[in-house]
Amino acid sequence: MDNAYIPFPSKVLEVIKHTETEYTFRLEFSGDVKPGQFFEVSIPKYGEAPISVSGIGENFVDLTIRRVGVVTNEVFEKYVGDTLLLRGPYGNGFDVDLYNQGETVVIAGGTGVSPVRGVIDALSKSDDPQNKYAIVGFRSPDHMLFRDDLKVWDEKLNLTVTVDGADEGYQGKIGLVTKYIPDLPIKDVNTAKAVVVGPPAMMKFSVMGLLDKGFKEENIWVSQERRMCCGLGKCGHCRIGEKYVCIDGPVFNYTESKGLID
Amino acid sequence: MGFVMNQEEFSKTIENLSKNYRLYAPVIKKGEGRCLDEDIVRYDFVTKAEEIELELKSDYSFKEILLPLSETLFFFTENETKVADKNTSDVLVFLRSCDLHGLRRLDDMYLRNGKEKDFFYSRIREHVQFVLIGCPHSYKDCFCVDMGANKIDEGYVFTIEPKGDGFASEIKDDDFTKYFVGQSEHVKVSYVTENETKVNVPNNVPLSIYKSDFWREYDARCIACGRCTIVCPTCTCFTMQDTFYDPNGKVGERRRVNASCMIDGYTNVAGGGEYRKPHGQRMRFKVLHKIKDYKARFGYNMCVGCGRCDMVCPEYISFSTLINKLDDQIKKEAE
């Protein structure tokens, strides 16, 4: 019988530093994986943590990890060439093909950008990038992730990058992501699709903004962040109502997620 | 088909079973209760009939035999892992109808929820069979009848219950007949048909009850100690935990330990996020799982009405009372 709890070693190919606390680990992996899915990553001494896939390549996956404890830069950097232990991928992930058709808006905040990075990437390469929108928010300019991607996306699709707050002299947009929802030049709100990922409050108000604008509930998807301890539907930590985020989600259609109350 | 045994014959029967099975049964632990000089009944390995407690209700359920409080999953060095060994000799567990219904919930989670069966649960479960302890009468706090867990017709090999000065067993699996010493007789297991404690489980729980002030009472009363979930035969949550033998963190083991949605830290996510901080909200999460959410997923209620959570709560919060109050509240709100 298969033992799904045993992790496999994966070589760290590259470590990309985004901010003081957020790094992307490029790890050796070949196999099927979708944006929005996650891996259980063993971090020595810290145990396992569920980390969203932020990038997918032929022989690698990117995992963007936020430093949560007192872990020094040295600890992160010494992993290059080293191995991490992985299990996964787990969860349903995003159905990218679905969002490629027609008008789509992706709204993401903070580390919530990780799981939708692959989605935005696909939208930017779609046949009609003029119909694709992304509103990406960070706490401050210092908290910005995937700067190189932001530049590329900005050239291809309609990208809004905003920060909650910034020092005087900051040239970019300031304000919460919700501020930019009413102005989205959506042609047909009856068919336009939306993907929302981020902290709970940000998701709640973004969905409210979309509904106010006339988006249909069934055309909105959210991804829930919970403490997925096992990823297999056993440990119970990620349960909300009758759903287990790790196996039924983390991506839920809004018609499903609106009845899930923590 | 069954047997009636006197004390001596029962002892001999247990002795026979012990030769082929590891037996786990409720045992009185003298002086190990919560207060000074108080006893407690909990599960332990037994080899003699005298050790088995068939009269008193056990304070803890049988579940730790299948789900140890702390279980080592595997050991690891830098790039290698080795799965922890397990004693896989055959086991017989003595339990009551409510607990056997509880077993079905454990199986649901560990064998049927998600794509794969749980490796560590399966490898123990395959070697465990069950002996049904008959219940000639109900106990304080039991509400098994209203939860439909008072009676069970399958999932055990034989039954056992005190009868007069001796014991009576109904044989379900004929392979076990050979272990018995006593008078062959037709025996039917006893089961409870009425409890003193009654519960009205609400059929429809409206979403409005999630936001209701109803739960505020437990913000103050509940101390989030989690005992109710630890004694519960249907609570199955665990947390992964790494322990290292050396300060460099290269050699160690990964364990899973019992976890509880009532206890701090259960929902913590990276970066300080936490769900359900107020204890009343945790109570709501637990209670609605037991009588609503589980049913929505698996088709029947999670709670089996054993009432152990009522017995163990240091704040005297009664689950059965809470259900009835909740039912009243829902009816009141519907008016």
List the Cα angle B54/B58/B60 in 5-degree steps. 150
Answer yes or no: do A47 and A118 share one domain. no
Residue B55: what residue type? E
Q: Is residue B241 part of a domain?
A: yes
List all residues 6 or more positions away from A82 whose beta carbon is below 8 Å from its beta carbon.
A11, A12
Instruction: Among B79, B236, B296, select the one facing A83 at the smallest CB separation.
Output: B79
pLDDT at residue B271 greater than cutoff 80: no
What DSSP string describes A26-76?
EEE--S---TT-EEEEEETTTEEEEEEEEEE-SSEEEEEEE--SS--HHHH
Question: What pLDDT shows up at residue B249?
Answer: 66
Considering the domain architecture, whether residues A148 and A232 belong to the same structural domain is answered as yes
- Please check whether residue B75 lies inside any domain of the structure: yes
Instruction: Name the residue of chain B whose CA is nearest to A238's CA.
Output: B267
Shared-domain flag, residues B53 and B154: yes
Which B residues in the span 44-83 are in contact with A, Cβ-Cβ below 8 Å?
73-74, 76, 78-79, 81, 83
User: Best mutation site among A43, A85, A138, A261 for testing chain B: the one with the most B CBs within 10 Å?
Assistant: A261
A111 vs chain B: nearest CA distance in angstroms? 10
Please tell me whether residues A111 and A187 are part of one structural domain: yes
What is the count of structural domains for chain B?
Answer: 2
* pLDDT tens-place string over residues B50-86: 999 999 999 999 999 999 999 999 998 876 788 998 8
Chain A: residue whose CA lies nearest to B243? A45
Q: What is the distance between the alpha carbons of residues A206 and A181, in angstroms, rounded to a whole number?
A: 8
Structure tokens at B295: 């049913």
Q: pLDDT digit string (tens) for A25-50?
A: 899 999 999 999 999 988 666 678 88
Asked whether residue A85 falls in the same domain as residue A138, the answer is no
Specify whether B126 is located in the same domain as B65: yes
Please indicate, yes or no, if residue A246 is contained in any of the structural domains.
yes
**Nearest CB to B74 within list A6, A48, A237:** A6
Q: Chain B partners of A20 at a C-beta cutoff of 8 Å? A: none
Q: What three-state secondary structure class fits A83? A: strand
Judge if B222 and B162 occupy the same domain. Answer: no
pLDDT at A72: 37
Give the CATH number, domain containing residue A197. Answer: 3.40.50.80
Q: Write down the pLDDT at residue A46.
A: 67
- Interface membership of A201 toward B (CB under 8 Å): no
CATH of the domain at A13: 2.40.30.10
Interface of A with B in 224-253 (CB under 8 A): 225-227, 229-230, 232-237, 239, 241-242, 244, 246-247
Q: Give dist(CA B238, CA B294) in Å, integer.
A: 17
Q: Which residue range forms the structural domain that includes residue B305? A: 207-334
Q: Which of A63, A90, A117 is the last residue of a domain?
A: A90
Domain end: A90, A110, A141, which one?
A: A90
Is B250 touching A (CB cutoff 8 A)?
yes
Asked if residue A250 has a cis previous peptide bond (ω within 30° of 0), the answer is yes
Question: CA–CA separation, A45 vs A71, rounded Å?
Answer: 11
ipTM comes to 0.92
Interface membership of B1 toward A (CB under 8 Å): no
Q: Does one domain contain both A143 and A242?
A: yes
What mean pLDDT, rounded, does chain B reach?
A: 93
Determine whether the interchain pair A247/B79 forms a contact, defined as Cβ–Cβ distance below 8 Å: no
The yes-or-no verdict on residue B295 having pLDDT over 90 is yes
Contact criterion met (CB < 8 Å) for A234 and B267: no
For Cα atoms B262, A261, A248, give the angle at the middle one, nearest 5 degrees.
Answer: 95
How far out from the chain centre does Cα B277 lie? 26
Q: Give the confidence band of B49 by pLDDT, cuts at 50, 70, 90.
A: very high
B180 and B213 part of one domain: no
Measure the CA–CA gap between B158 and B133, rounded to whole angstroms: 9
What is the per-residue pLDDT for B244? Answer: 82
The answer to whether position A237 is within a domain reads yes
Total domain count, chain A:
2
Q: Chain A contacts of B205, Cβ < 8 Å?
A: none
Between B83, B252, B289, which is nearest A3 by CB? Answer: B83
Let me know whether B222 and B316 are in one domain: yes
Cα distance from A72 to chain B (closest Cα, Å)? 15
Set of chain A residues whose Cβ sits within 8 Å of the Cβ of B251: none
CA dihedral A5, B257, A65, A35 (to 10 degrees): 50
pLDDT tens-digit map of B307-319: 999 999 999 999 9
Is residue B165 located within the same domain as residue B58? yes
Do A113 and A198 lie in one domain? The reply is: yes
- List of residues 6+ apart from B255 with CB closer than 8 A: B70, B71, B72, B73, B240, B241, B242, B243
Q: Residue B259: its pLDDT value, please?
A: 93
Domain boundary at B184, B218, B236, which?
B184
pLDDT tens digit sequence for B19-39: 999 999 999 999 888 888 889
Supply the pLDDT for residue A73: 41
A165 and A75, same structural domain? no
Decide: helix, strand or coil at residue B277.
Answer: coil
pLDDT per position in chain A (262 positions), as tens? 789 999 888 899 988 888 877 888 899 999 999 999 999 988 666 678 888 999 999 999 999 887 765 333 445 556 778 888 899 999 999 999 999 889 999 999 988 999 999 999 999 999 999 999 999 999 999 889 899 999 999 999 999 999 998 888 898 899 999 999 999 999 999 999 999 999 889 999 999 999 999 999 999 999 998 888 899 999 999 999 999 999 998 999 999 999 888 8
Question: What counts of helices (H) and strands (E) characterise chain A?
Answer: 7, 15
Buried b (16+ CB within 10 A) or exposed e, A60-85: bbbbbbbbeeeeeeeebeebeeebbb
In a domain? residue B108 = yes
Are A172 and A157 members of one domain?
yes
Boundary residue ending a domain (B151, B184, B217): B184
Same structural domain, A132 and A252: yes
Give φ, ψ of B333 to 5 degrees: -65, -30
The answer to whether residue B38 sits within a structural domain is yes
Are residues B21 and B154 both part of a single domain?
yes
Statement to judge: residues A120 and A25 lie in one domain: no
123-162 of B, contacting A, C-beta below 8 A: 123
Same domain, B82 and B146: yes
The answer to whether residue B23 is domain-embedded is yes
Q: How far apart are CA B116 and CA B243, in angstroms?
A: 26
Q: Within an 8 Å CB–CB cutoff, is residue B264 touching chain A? A: no
Residues B71 and B134 in one domain: yes
pLDDT at residue B232, as a whole number: 96
- Rounded to whole angstroms, the Cα distance separating A74 from A88 reads 27
The average pLDDT across B226-240 equals 95
B170 and B215 fall within a common domain: no
Examine the fold and report which residue of A75, A90, A105 is the final residue of a domain before the chain moves on: A90
Q: Is B121's pLDDT higher than 50?
A: yes
- Range of A52's domain? 8-90
Domain boundary among B153, B184, B215: B184
* Residue B49 within a domain: yes
Return the pLDDT at A194. 96
A-proximal residues of B, 86-125, CB under 8 Å? 109-110, 113-123
Distance from CA of B123 to the nearest CA of A (A): 9
CA distances from B162 to B3, B15, B167 (A): 12, 18, 4
> How many Å lie between the alpha carbon of B193 and the closest alpha carbon of chain A?
31
Q: In this complex, do B240 and A244 lie within 8 Å of one another by their Cβ atoms?
A: no
Minimal Cβ distance to A235: which of B239, B242, B288: B239
Instruction: Report the C-alpha gap between A29 and B122 in whole angstroms.
Output: 29
pTM: 0.92
Q: Does one domain contain both A86 and A101? A: no
Question: What is residue A211's predicted lDDT score, i.e. its pLDDT?
Answer: 96
Q: Same domain, yes or no, for A143 and A126? A: yes
- Interchain proximity A242–B294, CB inside 8 Å: yes
pLDDT of residue A241: 93
Would residue A190 count as lying in a domain?
Answer: yes
The model's confidence at residue B333, banded by pLDDT at 50, 70 and 90, is confident
Which residue, among B289, B271, B300, has the nearest Cα to B235 in the 3D structure? B289
pLDDT in tens, B173-228: 999 999 999 999 999 999 999 999 999 999 989 988 998 999 999 999 999 999 99
- Say whether residue B215 is in contact with chain A using an 8 A CB cutoff: no
> What residues of chain B lie within 8 A of the CB of A44, using their CB?
242, 244, 249-250, 252
Domain assignment present for A141? yes
3-class DSSP string for A110-172: HHHHHHHHHHHHHHHCCCCHHHEEEEEEECCHHHCCCHHHHHHHHHHCEEEEEECCCCCCCCC
Instruction: Write down the pLDDT at residue A85.
Output: 85
Amino acid A74: pLDDT: 45
pLDDT at position B270: 66
- Banded model confidence at residue B289, pLDDT cuts 50, 70, 90: very high
Query: What's the rounded Cα separation, in Å, for the pair A89 and A99?
Result: 21
- B296 to chain A: closest CA residue: A242
* pLDDT tier for residue B134 given thresholds of 50, 70 and 90: very high
User: Are B249 and B309 in a shared domain?
Assistant: yes
